[in-house]
């Protein structure tokens, strides 16, 4: 048999109290020896259920109704032919032998998939001791080799560390080491990089690729990210609602998609090479409808003066915030202190009616910055000035009393549509609450406002009595947007508003935000780690790294001509859903690129030189040494 794994007519049903859910319907595909197959689909498409079926770790309520999963590695051949995994007892010894030894899996969440109470070495060696006839000493040696292969700088030390002592990227490497230490013939990677930063994602994908060719194993990559697929897969299987929509090799799928779902999916992903003004095509687009309360407006409300409206709506100057972390804590002396500069001398402006994209990886300080703009945190130094069209307002100087009316002008959209809505309030209550707090209107006019808000974000006004749980993730995010709009703010801070959503929903929300901005004359600060998304929605883009704003420019010039080494590295690490711009795995940004001390001159930031943003050309600012001679003055 030339195939390593054959899935034939697989049907999996979940038998729940509420009834039977058909999670996987007649799915067939196969994985060749040493090949890479990507299983692509949005949430609820059944792709993870298939991986669980192959591993024999389906939840209790799931049952394989029909179909076979034929696994044929060398050991199976030696015993006389393929093994049908769907017939095996999941708790039996044959399946235990396959699981972890011949097929292994990496999960999405590196934070929770390792036990917090056991050392990394213990957990990795366990797999070896289970499946290979080795002594503990030999196992430790093999584990060390594997840890080195996945890029641990000090494998001997790593053996003794606990997962909570490691960063997300290192944990995912440990997870890969655990999956590969027995040299399986098939690796299932279930969204292995979804929870990681782009630069770490690129490194992890490279590790999987390198080890795949070294160990000669096959990879089943399960993902929703078409950019990742384009960069790693040879064959692609596209799923939707438990069914295969289309399958074929990578070239066919990307160059000549046939199925309408796949075409729609490809059209919904933001790309860097989009034409100016080109819109994403979501699978279902939203019509926004304004009413008399939420009327369209063009930056005016009577008392605003034209000359003031020309000024930037927000000016941030020399903002600093550092946190002191007490080291030692319970067991140490409690005296040792460590200062982290979460936001380090950040200066920028936002023009009225525009969108500033704020890009950076986790821990770069973008959320701390947004909290300070909202006055949820107080900065150590610096100033924030807001212009409401009449006068400048010093946000940091506002006292408790004058802060309340100011809050109407600046609102927030949160990342997680599930936890940001109170599950015990109806949508109507959620939407009118801001009005009640600020004592705006009568109960009657508030209700009318809520109805208009619903239609503004493309929801049915009759659903005001419903609770958040009866809406999907995308719909909830729209409710969150409607809530932010209730007070008719001038500036909205969007903190990763689409990163928890599926690709097609993401396009929907991005278009909605764009339309609302045009209709209501809004200004956005859009925080995201996804460069393609920021590229789509923002006019100006600011890049942050380790609390520093390293580069800021209009979007065209930032992407065409990145100057700062960190921006360059970041751009190189983004996987694009297109075969014409593949990642260059040999020139990835390494750890150094995000370390300010090892940036080359004139960008080095080791405390010995003064740094400031200097204008390169046409509002393209880069953080360099003050006297570097770069830029125009």
Partner 1 sequence: MFGYIARRLLIMIPTMLVISALVFIIIQLPPGDYLTTLINELQAQGESGEERIAYYRELYGLDQPMIIQYFNWLWGMLHGDFGHSFEYDLPVSEVVGDRMSLTFVLNFFTILFIYIVAFPIGVYSAVRQYSVGDYSLTLIGYLGLATPNFLLALILLYIAKAYFGVDVGGLMDEQYIDAPWSMDKALSVLEHLWVPVIVIGTSGTASMIRRLRANLLDELHKQYVITARAKGLSPKKALVKYPLRMALNPFISDIGNLIPDVISGSAIVAVVLGLETTGPMLLNALLAQDIYLAGSFLMFVALLTVVGMLVSDLALALLDPRIRLGAEASK
Binding positions for partner 1, rule: CB under 8 A? 55, 57, 91, 96-101, 104-105, 107, 109, 112-119, 126-127, 130-131, 162, 164-165, 175, 178, 325, 327-333, 338
Terminal CA-CA length for the chain: 70
Would you state the structure tokens that stand for residue 511, as one six-digit string? 């278009």
**In the complex with partner 1, which residue's Cβ is closer, 99 or 548?**
99
Residues 6+ apart with CB under 8 A from 444: none
CB of 306 to partner 1, least distance (A): 51
Would you state the structure tokens that stand for residue 323, as one six-digit string? 């946190």
Report DSSP letters for 425-488, one per residue: S-HHHHHHHHHHHTT-S-HHHHHHHHHHHHHHTT--GGGGGS-GGGS-HHHHHHHHHHHHHTT-
CB of 132 to partner 1, least distance (A): 11
Nearest alpha carbon to residue 223 among 50, 13, 469, 5: 50
CB of 101 to partner 1, least distance (A): 6
CB of 152 to partner 1, least distance (A): 16
Would you state the structure tokens that stand for residue 285, as one six-digit string? 């687009």
Tell me 118's DSSP state: S
Indicate the burial class of 275 (C-beta count within 10 angstroms; 0-12, 13-18, 19 or more).
exposed
**In the complex with partner 1, which residue's Cβ is closer, 59 or 276?**
59
CB of 326 to partner 1, least distance (A): 8
CA-to-CA separations, 105 to 129, 190, 231, 486, 532, in angstroms, rounded? 17, 7, 20, 46, 29
Using left for φ > 0, alpha for ψ between -120 and 50, and beta otherwise, residue 382 falls in left
**In the complex with partner 1, which residue's Cβ is closer, 332 or 443?**
332
Element containing residue 325 per DSSP (H, E): strand 314-326
Q: What is the SS3 assignment for 258?
A: coil
Residues 6+ apart with CB under 8 A from 92: none
CB of 477 to partner 1, least distance (A): 25
**In the complex with partner 1, which residue's Cβ is closer, 329 or 397?**
329
Nearest alpha carbon to residue 546 among 631, 607, 625, 492: 607
Element containing residue 350 per DSSP (H, E): strand 337-350
CB 422 within 8 Å of CB 430: yes
CB of 127 to partner 1, least distance (A): 5
CB of 71 to partner 1, least distance (A): 14
CB of 632 to partner 1, least distance (A): 41
CB of 172 to partner 1, least distance (A): 12
Dist. CA 611–CA 607, nearest whole Å:
9
**In the complex with partner 1, which residue's Cβ is closer, 166 or 228?**
166
Residues 6+ apart with CB under 8 A from 184: 100, 101, 102, 103, 104, 217
Strands (E), 54-148: 62-71, 83-84, 103-106
**In the complex with partner 1, which residue's Cβ is closer, 90 or 441?**
90
**In the complex with partner 1, which residue's Cβ is closer, 115 or 249?**
115
CB of 323 to partner 1, least distance (A): 11
Beta-strand pair 218-223/186-190: parallel
CB of 186 to partner 1, least distance (A): 12
Number of helices followed by number of strands (H, E) in the chain: 21, 22
Element containing residue 318 per DSSP (H, E): strand 314-326
**In the complex with partner 1, which residue's Cβ is closer, 17 or 296?**
17
Residues 6+ apart with CB under 8 A from 141: none
CB 223 within 8 Å of CB 239: no
**In the complex with partner 1, which residue's Cβ is closer, 115 or 561?**
115
**In the complex with partner 1, which residue's Cβ is closer, 340 or 612?**
340
**In the complex with partner 1, which residue's Cβ is closer, 20 or 130?**
130
CB of 60 to partner 1, least distance (A): 10
């Amino acid at each position: 048999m030339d195939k390593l794994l054959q899935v034939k007519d697989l049907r999996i049903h979940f038998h729940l109290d509420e009834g039977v859910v058909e999670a996987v319907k007649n799915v067939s595909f196969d994985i060749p020896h040493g090949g890479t197959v990507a299983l692509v689909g949005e949430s609820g498409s059944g792709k993870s259920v298939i991986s669980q079926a192959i591993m024999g770790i389906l939840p209790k309520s799931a049952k394989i109704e029909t179909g076979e999963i034929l696994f044929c590695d060398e050991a199976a051949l030696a015993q006389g032919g393929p093994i049908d995994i769907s017939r095996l007892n999941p708790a039996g010894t044959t399946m235990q032998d396959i699981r972890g030894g011949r097929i292994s899996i990496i999960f999405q969440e590196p934070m929770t998939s390792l036990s917090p109470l056991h050392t990394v070495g213990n957990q990795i060696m366990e797999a070896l001791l289970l499946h290979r006839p080795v002594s503990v000493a030999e196992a430790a040696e093999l584990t060390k080799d594997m840890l080195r292969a996945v890029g641990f700088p000090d494998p001997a030390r790593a053996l003794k560390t606990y997962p909570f002592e490691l960063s997300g990227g290192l944990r995912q490497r440990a997870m890969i080491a655990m999956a590969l230490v027995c040299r399986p013939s098939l690796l299932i990677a279930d969204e292995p990089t979804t929870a990681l930063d782009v630069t770490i994602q690129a490194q992890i994908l490279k590790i999987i690729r390198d080890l795949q060719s070294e160990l000669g194993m096959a990879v089943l990559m399960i993902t929703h990210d078409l950019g990742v697929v384009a960069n790693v897969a040879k064959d692609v299987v596209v799923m939707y609602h438990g069914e295969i929509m289309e399958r074929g090799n990578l070239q066919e799928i990307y160059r000549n998609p046939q199925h309408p779902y796949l075409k729609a999916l490809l059209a919904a992903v933001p790309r860097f090479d989009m034409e100016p003004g080109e819109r994403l095509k979501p699978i279902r687009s939203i019509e926004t409808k304004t009413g008399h309360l939420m009327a369209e407006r063009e930056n005016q409300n009577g008392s605003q003066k034209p000359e003031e409206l020309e000024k930037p709506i927000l000016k941030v100057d020399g903002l600093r915030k550092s946190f002191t972390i007490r080291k030692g804590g319970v067991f140490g002396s409690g005296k040792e202190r460590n200062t982290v500069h979460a936001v380090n001398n950040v200066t920028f402006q936002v023009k009225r009616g525009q969108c500033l994209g704020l890009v950076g990886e986790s821990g770069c300080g973008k959320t701390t910055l947004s909290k300070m703009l909202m006055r949820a945190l107080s900065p150590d130094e610096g100033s924030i000035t807001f212009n409401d069209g009449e006068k400048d307002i010093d946000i940091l100087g506002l006292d408790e009393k004058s802060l309340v009316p100011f809050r109407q002008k600046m609102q927030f959209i949160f990342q997680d549509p599930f936890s940001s809505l109170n599950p015990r309030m109806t949508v109507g209550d959620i939407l009118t609450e801001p009005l009640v707090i600020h004592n705006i209107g009568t109960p009657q006019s508030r209700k009318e406002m809520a109805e208009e808000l619903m239609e503004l974000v493309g929801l049915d006004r009759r659903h005001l009595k419903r609770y958040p749980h009866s809406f999907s993730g995308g719909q909830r995010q729209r409710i969150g947007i409607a809530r932010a709009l209730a007070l008719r703010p001038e500036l909205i801070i969007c903190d990763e508003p689409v990163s928890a959503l599926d690709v097609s929903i993401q396009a929907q929300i991005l278009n909605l935000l764009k339309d609302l901005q045009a209709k209501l004359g809004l200004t956005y600060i859009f925080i995201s780690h996804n460069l393609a998304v920021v590229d789509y929605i923002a006019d100006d883009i600011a890049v942050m790294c380790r609390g520093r704003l390293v580069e800021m420019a209009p979007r065209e010039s930032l992407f065409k001509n990145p100057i700062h080494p960190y921006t360059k590295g970041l751009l190189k690490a983004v996987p694009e859903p297109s075969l014409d711009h593949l990642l260059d795995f040999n020139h990835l940004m390494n750890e150094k690129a995000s370390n300010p001390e090892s940036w080359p001159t004139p960008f080095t930031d080791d405390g010995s030189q003064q740094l400031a943003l200097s204008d390169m050309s046409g509002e393209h600012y880069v953080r360099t040494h003050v006297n570097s001679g770069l830029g125009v003055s």
